[in-house]
Amino acid sequence: MNRRTSRARRAAAVAAIGALCLALAGCATAPPPAPAHAMARADLGMQSSATTFADFPAAPRDPAPDAGTDGIVLHVTRDIAVHDAPDGAVFARLPATQLDNPTWVPVIAERGPWAQVLLPSRPNGSTGWIRTDGAVERARTPYAIDVDIDARRLVVRNNGAVVGEWVVGVGSPDSPTPRGRTYIMAAIQETVTTFSPIILPLGAHSDTFSTYGGGPGTVALHGWPDPAVFGKASSDGCVRVPDDALRLLATLPLGTLVHLR
């Protein structure tokens, strides 16, 4: 993919979009209802932002959490409405940034000008439909990450070919790593703690912790200074990876699919 993602500070920013006004005159009968995507622009400022801090219990769930994708990812260039189906009801807005990184989300289905994408919000497996003929840019990542939780092994593939494989640490029995397909949501250069120079938050959350360290319990890929943790189930839900694995993972595009199996 010919793009470079921002590797930046920790923060989240949201913005409201202006309202769309429709004026119809000279008609004796009531005008037909505006399409859902047009009404969405008017209502967008009232919608909750689909970030790692949000929870949308009624969001459509991932219909195939073990399936792959064709690698298509969408860059949201400004806040955009999220629908529960093509031309369906709007239930959220997807912001242009996530944790101070540009928003890239993987496509899991398409229908005309609509794409179903994975969301970074709770519950795990949340999805939504966005229009692709507006404030989005389309690209493809050849990479996919597979984490076998039981075998404690992480594999990176490029167009299906293995380019790296490592033994990793996963969540303990009391705070297991969640399962399903998710994606690299952001890349954060760590300046507060020293356990990992880069942290890669995923669009998934702990099923044990509703909050963690002041955050929403977001699961991440990150390094660890003590190699004794690799091959063990001892984390609070995150996947701990060796240094050389982290160096490769940090180069992968945002939106890259991650299977937690």
Q: Which one of the listed residues 37, 83, 205, 238 is annotated catalytic? A: 238
CA–CA separation, 51 vs 77, rounded Å? 15
Beta bridge partners of 257: 144, 183
Beta bridge partners of 205: 218
CA–CA separation, 184 vs 182, rounded Å? 7
Q: What is the 3-class SS of 62-121, one letter each residue?
A: CCCCCCCCCCEEEEECCCEEEECCCCCCEEEEECCEECCEECEEEEEEEECCEEEEECCC
Q: Which one of the listed residues 37, 75, 205, 222 is annotated catalytic? A: 222
Half-sphere exposure of 49 (CA within 13 A, CB side): 18
CA–CA separation, 35 vs 32, rounded Å? 9
222 classed as catalytic: yes
Question: Which residues does 173 contact at the CB level (< 8 Å), separation at least 6?
Answer: 233
Q: Summarize the chain as % helix, strand, coil (round to 5).
A: 10, 40, 55
Looking at this protein, which amino acid is placed at residue 243? D
Closest CA to 58 of 130, 126, 109: 126
238 classed as catalytic: yes
Residues designated catalytic: 222, 238
